[in-house]
Amino acid sequence: MARNTLGNEGLPYPTQQALKVLGENIKTARKRRRWTLDEMAGSMLVTRKTLSRLETGDPAVSLAVMAAALHVLGMTDDLSNIAAPERDNIGLFNEKRRLPQKIHKKKGRTDILDF
């Protein structure tokens, strides 16, 4: 029985395109290293077909396969930058909005260093 996966039909178009670009980028990096599909797939411990699916942007390919590809290519740091909090512009904007507008000193407190 086939597994139910989130195929291209369930993904927004910009996400589909981003996966295709990611796949092309991995393919380009592989070719720059002059590795065949078989060589890189062997290093990743996956089949040639699985690597090929990753390179075409198939959304059903697991995150572990993408992580393995980036590791083999020496690009693991790129993986840790995906969705990094400091790059979350909406989250940073909302966080900034929640900061108090004014800071008031508490009245009656003159000795800050009270031991």
The CATH number of residue 49's host domain is 1.10.260.40
Residue 21: name the closest of 51, 46, 48, 56 by CA: 56
Q: Look at residue 1 in the predicted model and tell me its pLDDT.
A: 44
Taking the C-alpha atoms of residue 112 and residue 84, their distance in angstroms, rounded to an integer, is 38
Is 108 within the bounds of a domain? no
pTM of the model: 0.74
What is the token pair recorded at 95?
């966080």
pLDDT in tens, 79-101: 888 888 998 999 989 988 887 87
89 lies in which domain range?
11-98
Residue 89 covered by a domain = yes
Let me know if residue 3 belongs to a domain. no
The total number of structural domains in the chain stands at 1
